[in-house]
Amino acid sequence: MRSLVLVPALLLAACGDVAPLKPAAGQALPVKPALAKVTPDAEDLLRPTVMAAPERVDELVTRSLPREADRFDLPPPDGGASPPAPAAEAEGEDEQPTRVGEPE
């Protein structure tokens, strides 16, 4: 029973990368792109671009800030008035914003 599991695992491990990639016999690498300085090799072609694999950004929100006035916040199309601005924006614009999780 144990050998039935080990043999396929060893065969699978043996088929790993043993040499650098090369084009198939009789085939060539793609032609040089028009604006490239050099023709890319197999490693360059296999490396994903920044657009294909972007870096992850783990930026956490460190403070809570009131939203800025939006000049494109238009009234409803039926002609009604837009909602009034919150009182906090009109009164305390010169105050420092309160940070979340920090004692005052």
pTM of the model: 0.31
What is the mean pLDDT of the segment spanning 70-76? 80
Q: Which residue, among 47, 46, 45, 20, has the nearest Cα to 30 in the 3D structure? A: 45
**Do the beta carbons of residue 26 and residue 41 sit within 8 Å?**
no
Specify the pLDDT at position 75.
74
Res. 88 pLDDT band, cuts 50 70 90: low
